Amino acid sequence: MSLSSALSIAQSSLQTTSRQTAVVSRNVADASNPDYARRIVHVVSTDPGARAAQIQRATNDQLFRQNLGALSAWAGQSALYDGLDQLDLAVNGVDNASSASAAIGDLQQALQLYATSPSNQNLGTAVIDAARQVVRSLNDGTDAIQKFRTDTDGQIATAVGELNGLLAQFKDANTAVVSGSRSGTDVSDALDQRDALLKKIAEYVPVSTVTRADNDMVITTADGTTLFETIPRSVSFQPQAGYTAGVQGNAVYIDNVPLAAGTGGNTDAGGKLAGLVQLRDGVTGTMQAQLDEIARGLITAFAETAPAQPNAAGLFTWSGAPAIPAAGTLVNGLAGQIRINSAMDPSAGGDVTLLRDGGANGAAYMANTTGGASYADLLIAYGNKLNEPMAFSPAAGINASVSVSAYSASAIGWFEGVRKQASTAADAKEALSTRTAEALSNKTGVNVDTELSLLLDLEHTYQASARILTSVNQMLDSLMEAVR
C-alpha cells in the first residue's frame, strides 16, 4: 500500500459516486413517469478500490403480468359500459322517456279516453298521434341502434389501425433491446419503452408474453394467437359502410384467426376490441330483436279480424301488409318498417273512425255494423289485446309469453340488468387495474425521499473522498518539502 494507491482509490470512489449521483438524478427526474422503472447501481469492490459494476433495472414480472391482465379486462369492460350508457340515452332517453314502453303507455291512455267518448273525433286523432309516437320511438330506436353499430364498427377499424401502429413500434423497441443485450450495453431505456408499449397493446387485446434469449419478446393473445414474433403479425378488419337489423359485422382477424367477442354484462372480453365487437353484434343485436318483437306485437294486437277472413294489419302496418307477421317469429328490422296505417291517419287523408268501426281492409272487416258513433267495443278490445299474453320469439332473449305492453317494459329491464352488471364490473375492474398499477409502481417505481437520502450518503462519500485527496496531497507536499 502506498500513498499513490490511496490516491487512486479515492479517485475511483469519486468516479463511482458521480456515476451513482447521475443515476439518482435520473431516478428523481422520472419519478412521476408511470412507465419508468427505478435503476439501481450495484457497487462491486475490486482489489485496487471500488467501482460501479452495472446498472440494474427494478422489475417484477408477476405484478407486471397481473397489471397487463387487469388493464385488458378493464379496457374491455369500460368499452362495453360506455357503449351501453350511450345506447341507453339514444334508444330509451333520459329516465326512459322516449322508450317504446312509455309510448305504449301513452297510447293505452289515449285509447281509453277515445273508448269513453268514441263519437269525439279529436280523441280519435289523439290516439293516432299517440300511435305515431310509438312508431317514432321504434323507428328512431332502430335508427339509433344501427347508427351506433356503424359508429362502433368505425371505432373497431380505428382501434385495429392503432394496434397495428403499436405493434410496429414494438418491433423497433424489441430490436433495440435485443441488439443492446447482445452487445452488452445498458438497455434499461429500451426496456422501459417496450413495457410501456406492451401496456398500451394490452388495452386493445389481452396479451401473454414469453421472453427468449437476448431479451427477445414474443407476444401472443390470451387464446394463443401469435401477435408478435420477431415481426408483428397483421391485425386485419374490414369495416362496413352501414348496418341494418340482423346483419352481423365482420370479425377482427389477428394473424388470420378471428377474435372472439365478449359475452355477458360482466363481460369476459379482454381488451377494447373484444368489448367493441360484443357491443356491435351482441347487445345491440338483442336490443334490436326486442324492438322488432315489440313492433310485431303491436301489429298483431291491432290487427283487424273478421270471421272467415285472414287477420289483416290495422292501426299499425308494415311492408308485408295487409298480412300480419307470423306468430312467435322474429322479423328482422320490423321496428324500422312499422308505420301508421294511412287509411286511419287524418294527416294522410285517412279516416280515424276506421279505427273505431273497423274496415280499414275492406267492408268485410267492419265491426260496427249498426254504424253508431259511440261504438266502443272494438276500441276496448284493442286496449285489452295490449294486455293479453302473446308468444314472442325466444331469439330476443326475454321470457316468451307476456303481453306486448309488459314485453316493452321487460325489454328495458333486460337492458338495465346488463347495464347494471357492466357498471358494477367496470367499477371492480377499474379498481383492480388501479390497484395492480399501484402495486407495480410500489415495486418498481421511484420514491423521491429514498433517492434524496441516498443522495445524502453519496454527498458524504464524495466529501470524504475529496478530503482524502487533499490529505494525500498535503502528505505528498510535506514529503516533497522534506526532500527539497
Partner 1 sequence: MKTTAVSSAAISNAMRYSQSRMQVDLVKAQKEMDTGRVADVGLALGSRTTQSITFARDLDRLNGIVDSNALVTSRLSSTQDALGQLTDAAQALLGAMATASSGDMTDAVARDSGKAALQSLTAILNTSVNGEYLFAGTNTDVKPINDFTAAGSPAKAALDAAFLARFGFTQTDPAAANVTAADMDNFITNDVMPQFFGSGWQANWSNATGQQIVSRIALNETTETSITANNDGVKKLAMAAAMVNDFFSSSTLSSEAKRTAASRALSLAGEAVSDLGQTQSQAGLIQKRVSDATDRMNTQVDLFKKHILDIEGVDPYEAANRVNDLMSHIQTSFALTARIQQLSLLNFLT
Footprint of partner 1 (CB under 8 A): 31-34, 38, 40, 88, 95-96, 101-102, 104-106, 108-109, 112-113, 115-120, 368, 370-377, 380, 383, 405-406, 409-410, 412-417, 419-421, 423, 434, 437-438, 441-450, 452-454, 456
For partner 1, the closer of residues 427 and 477 by Cβ is 427
Q: Nearest 5 degrees, angle CA 253-CA 257-CA 258?
A: 55
Give the C-alpha separation, 445 to 28, whole Å: 10
> Could you give the C-alpha distances from 21 to 7, 301, 457, 463, 468, in angstroms and in order?
21, 82, 10, 13, 19
Nearest approach in angstroms of CB 174 to partner 1 is: 25
Question: What is the smallest separation between the CB atom of 449 and partner 1, expressed in angstroms?
Answer: 5
CA distance 66 to 437: 9
Nearer of residues 188 and 423 to partner 1, judged by Cβ:
423
In angstroms, give the least distance from the CB of 375 to partner 1: 5
Give the Cα separation of 37 and 21 in Å (integer). Answer: 17
Q: Whose Cβ is closer to partner 1: residue 163's or residue 301's? A: 301
Radius of gyration for the chain, computed over Cα atoms and rounded to the nearest angstrom? 37
In the complex, minimum distance from the CB of residue 104 to partner 1, in angstroms, rounded to a whole number = 8
Residue in this structure with the C-alpha cell 370479425, named with its chain if needed: 251
Spatial distance between the Cα atoms of 441 and 64, rounded to a whole number of angstroms: 9
CB 419 within 8 A of CB 313: no
Residues 6+ apart with CB under 8 A from 439: 63, 66, 67
Kind of pairing between the strands at 304-306 and 309-312: antiparallel
Reported as type and span, the H/E element at residue 452 is helix 448-483
If the CB atoms of residues 33 and 230 are measured against partner 1, the closer one turns out to be: 33
Q: What is the smallest separation between the CB atom of 195 and partner 1, expressed in angstroms?
A: 15
**Three-class HEC string of 329-341:** CCCCCHHHHCEEC
* Residue 358 vs residues 150, 260, 278, 363, 482: alpha-carbon distances, Å: 41, 51, 45, 8, 133
Closest distance to partner 1 from the beta carbon of 274 (Å)? 23
| Three-class DSSP category at 237 | coil
Determine the number of helices (DSSP H) and then strands (DSSP E) in the chain: 12, 15
| Distance in Å, CB of 102 to partner 1, minimum | 8
Nearer Cβ to partner 1 (406/472): 406
Q: Nearer to partner 1 by C-beta: 12 or 96?
A: 96
Q: What is the closest distance, in whole angstroms, from the C-beta atom of residue 20 to partner 1 in the complex?
A: 12
Which grid cell is 394?
Answer: 325466444
| Distance in Å, CB of 162 to partner 1, minimum | 24
Pick from 301, 280, 293: nearest CA to 334: 293
**CB closer to partner 1, 101 vs 317:** 101
The CB-of-15 to partner 1 minimum distance in angstroms stands at 21
Q: How far is the CB of 397 from partner 1 (least distance, A)?
A: 12
- Nearest approach, Cβ of residue 410 and partner 1 (Å): 5
Helix (H), strand (E), coil (C) string for 260-276? CCCCCCCCCCCHHHHHH
Which residues share a beta bridge with 156? none
Other beta carbons within 10 Å of 417: 12
Q: For partner 1, which is the closer residue by CB, 223 or 457?
A: 457
Of the pair 88, 162, the CB lying nearest partner 1 is at 88
Task: Report the residue number, 394 or 417, with the smaller CB distance to partner 1.
Answer: 417
DSSP string for 131-187: HHHHHHHHHHHHHHHHHHHHHHHHHHHHHHHHHHHHHHHHHHHHHHHHHHHHHT---
User: Closer to partner 1 at the Cβ: 83 or 333?
Assistant: 83
In whole angstroms, what separates CA 333 from the centre of its chain?
A: 25
Closer residue to partner 1, CB minimum distance, 282 or 383: 383
Contact 124, 355 (CB under 8 A): yes
Give the separation between CA 294 and CA 112, rounded to whole angstroms.
20
